[in-house]
Chains A and B, each alone.
Chain A
Amino acid sequence: MNTAHREIAAAPEELDYFELDRIVGEDYGGDRENLIMILQAIQRRYNYLPRPGLTYLSEKIGVPLSRIYEIATFYATFSLEPRGRNLITVCLGTACHVRGAKRIQEQIEHNLHICDGQTTEDGRFTLESVRCIGCCSLGPVVKVNEDVHARLTPDQVAKTLESYE
């Protein structure tokens, strides 16, 4: 959904097709029903969905590329362009919203000079928002990679982001 406007970018690195075979075949049995999870596994490996990988996947499991593209743009998790080294996810769930998540998001945008969905020029951060990560009692919450930062205030933003290179 939120990636619909993006274009499929070229791969910045060589794809390891043996590895793709392993993900598709061994981990997910080449089953079309597992398509969403296969795409997630590819994204975990490359940090986004590289086009050549999707073309290869289409041949491999017999699903037209257009259908794969449909899924990759329908679901919010998928990104068709490379993302930064660190992924900042601002939770915009209701509980975080009423506790000022919007202000946290604006502070991050202000500090990094990027908007929701964008990556900093040096490739250090990508900023994304998410509907709710289920830490509602500790809001507002921001996730950087796998670390969840709870009860954030706008003035803590700069310090929180400092440690991520």
Chain B
Amino acid sequence: MKILGVKSLERISEEFSRNIYFPEGVKVNVGMASCGIAAGAKAALERALRECPAGDSVEVRQTGCIGFCEEEPLVEILAKGKPRVVYRRVTEEKLPEVFRDYMEEEFNKKLILCQMRDPRSVLEEDRENPQEGVIPLKGIPFLDEIPFYAHQFKIALRNCGYIDPDSIEEYIARGGYFAFVRILAEMKPQEIISTIKNSGLRGRGGGGFPTGIKWESCSRHPGERYIICNADEGDPGAYMDRSVLEGDPHSVLEGMMIAAYAIGSTQGFIYVRNEYPLAVKRLVSAIKHAEVLGLMGDNIAGSDFSFRVKISTGAGAFVCGESTALMASLEGKVGRPRAKYIHTVEKGFRDGPSNLNNVETYANVPAIMLKGAEWYAAMGTKYSKGTKVFSLVGKVKNTGLVEVPMGTTLRQIIYDMGGGIPRKRKFKAVQTGGPSGGCIPEAFLDIQVGFDELTKVGSMMGSGGMIVMDQDTCMVDLARYFLDFLKEESCGQCTPCREGIKQMLDVLTGICEGRGKEGDIELLEEMGSMIQKFSLCGLGTSAPNPVLTTILYFRDEYEAHIQDKRCPAGVCKPLFHYEVDGKACTGCHVCALKCPQEAITGNKKEVHKLDQKKCVKCGICYEACKFDAIVVR
């Protein structure tokens, strides 16, 4: 069947919404994004398929990730007229117990993460809440009552974890492709651009350039125009694009097609990084399904608009996240950036006008078109509208993806939603913006997240990685880590970046290895400002940020390394050693059993001894001790 208008979408929506919300028998949804699979979801899914009485009463399906990665594998079980229950940490071994728990209506609190109050997406307001009238379970929180989901509002992640990413029909049932098909029939390109401009949507990849303005200027340049999706999510610590591509690939395709119609383009390209094989697989299948329904290809939905998408994979180069480098790589060349005297909206890929947006940006577009610019612009701060997905990771209790309105404070995200720092450790900093960003100390935890707000404190929004660090993270080592990363990833074209980063790294390595000397900090600052001013592309101009912000906020740590030859966090190996704290040691013997070097000795219930000569500072004892009796000196 081909889609020829809104009517045919409505038919599919009606049919498949029954399947999503009111299954015939019992439905088991297993979260099968890469993160879930890593936690053991694939084995759980296979066991479910093997053991559940298939065919008549139980349907086992894959979905994307609902974001709470800490509790994965997540399995949701539902049936008509019964509560929708999300079970946590459902490994292969636990699956039969979980299944029995639902079938026999025991609802053991220990197994359950939450129940669903309202599973509808933000685009389904016309539909009645499918859980209306279902008696909720007592003593089990609703999804929105869990602290992790407290401040969340899902637009870009609206379908992740709720639909089978390989089913275009389920995407349609959740309000998908309605925006695009309506636009084809009713709207002029300029009206679309105005809507996006008025919504205040800014590029979610890091730059924060207003999306509508980019579209408009691209549409004004003559020639064969190209729509490009940047899915080269290179910032380490950020994985929201992977989650969208794996959980809801059609939202990105629909966003791209709306952009293509607005700008006047017939060809789209998605540049996905090589480390995301599952995202590529799901995109390939999504494109195929869209073609079958006539939503991609020639004369889409009976109109005279045609559009095709090609997927290209990267090959492991961070710099290819930069627009000009990405376009060079798309052309099958080495990914080297060029100076942007002429912008890519005028001359980019194949020297044609090219519009490049990030995955999350495109995923927002269908929702904005359907709900209106005012609705979107009502959320957020003065200059940063809508919501943003952050990956909350590192030393924080609840790790995962959170989508919050712009303007939410860092403290709300890290403490209310993230649950603070595990193991009673102390918060030290939060790193945002990837290798180009900076570290924000505790004093600024009450700032609101937004493009300009984060820039003001020396960091940046970037693609949304939020890496929390505690007392065990050495800020000098972290700065060294980022520069080591950037030294490897520098394309080598311009001297400030290629040579400057290497020189800064040498100084930092010296400090970490105990060879730091007076004047090193000033030297780092001087070189940093030079690299910022004179590098060719964004990679170079932002490369010194992690060093400069850590010097700004954690100068005392640098000084401890240089003057006292001491690493207070216990990371830089030549600058610390472990000791047993005689007052805290209970003689439980766990450390001695775990030590691979047999460096720890002692009788049970007596204070243990650590042989410094044998110790390789692997940290196993430090992690293993429950009494904090292994200390860094």
Contacts and interface: CB of A to CB of B under 8 A. Distances in A.
A84 to B, nearest CB: 18
A150 B274 CA distance: 20
B434 interface: yes
12 contacts: A36-B312, A39-B315, A71-B315, A92-B236, A93-B236, A97-B481, A106-B618, A130-B316, A132-B235, A134-B275, A137-B69, A141-B38
Interface string B590-633: 00001010000000000000000000001110010000000000
A33 B69 contact: no
B434 A150 contact: no
A134 B465 contact: no
A153 B395 CA distance: 15
Contacts of A133: 34, 275
B315 A137 contact: no
Contacts of B491: 74
B38 A135 contact: yes
A155 B594 contact: yes
Interface in A1-44: 1-2, 31-37, 39-40
Contact of A93 (B38, B237, B332, B618): B237
A34 to B, nearest CB: 6
A59 to B, nearest CB: 16
A70 interface: yes
A99 interface: yes
A132 B400 contact: no
A99 to B, nearest CB: 7
A138 B312 contact: no
B53 to A, nearest CB: 30
A154 B618 contact: yes
A140 B477 CA distance: 17
Interface in A88-147: 92-100, 103, 106-107, 130-139, 141
A85 B83 CA distance: 48
Interface in B199-255: 233-239, 242
A77 interface: yes
A75 interface: yes
Nearest to A141: B38
B481 A94 contact: yes
Nearest to B437: A94
A113 to B, nearest CB: 15
A96 B400 CA distance: 14
Contact of A154 (B275, B329, B620): B620
Given A74-B335, A136-B391, A153 B620 contact: yes
Q: Which 4 A-B pairs have the closest CB atoms?
A: A93-B236, A137-B69, A76-B316, A75-B315
Contacts of A161: none
Nearest to B490: A1
Contact of A34 (B332, B395, B619): B332
Interface residues of A, number: 47
Contacts of A77: 274, 315-316
Interface in B421-444: 431, 434
A59 B35 CA distance: 42
Interface of B: 34-35, 37-39, 69-70, 72, 233-239, 242, 274-276, 312-318, 329-335, 391-395, 399-401, 431, 434, 465, 467, 469, 473, 478, 481-482, 485, 488-489, 491, 594, 596, 618-620, 623
A69 to B, nearest CB: 11
A136 B394 CA distance: 8
A65 interface: no
Contact of A95 (B312, B393, B485, B619): B393
A62 B488 CA distance: 30
A74 B317 contact: yes
A78 interface: yes
A54 interface: no
Contacts of A34: 312, 332
A155 B596 CA distance: 8
Contacts of A87: none
A137 B391 contact: yes
A2 B488 contact: yes
A1 B233 CA distance: 19
A156 to B, nearest CB: 10
Contacts of B400: 137
Contact of B467 (A98, A100, A138, A154): A98
A1 B488 contact: yes
Contacts of B34: 133-135, 148
Nearest to A139: B393
B316 A131 contact: yes
Given A33-B330, A98-B395, A130-B316, A138 B39 contact: yes
Nearest to A107: B618
A136 B72 CA distance: 13
For A32, A34, A136, which residue has the most chain B Cβ atoms within 10 angstroms? A136
A138 B37 CA distance: 11
Given A134-B242, A135-B34, A136-B399, A76 B333 contact: no
Given A37-B312, A134-B35, 6 more contacts: A35-B333, A39-B315, A98-B395, A131-B489, A135-B38, A155-B594
B393 A136 contact: yes
Contact of A94 (B69, B236, B489): B236
A138 B334 contact: no
B469 A131 contact: no
A95 B489 contact: no
Contacts of B236: 92-97, 131-132, 136
Contacts of A71: 315, 332-334
Contacts of A32: 332
Given A1-B489, A139-B393, A153 B332 contact: no
A154 B621 CA distance: 11
Nearest to A133: B275
B274 A40 contact: yes
Given A148-B37, A154-B620, A134 B488 contact: no
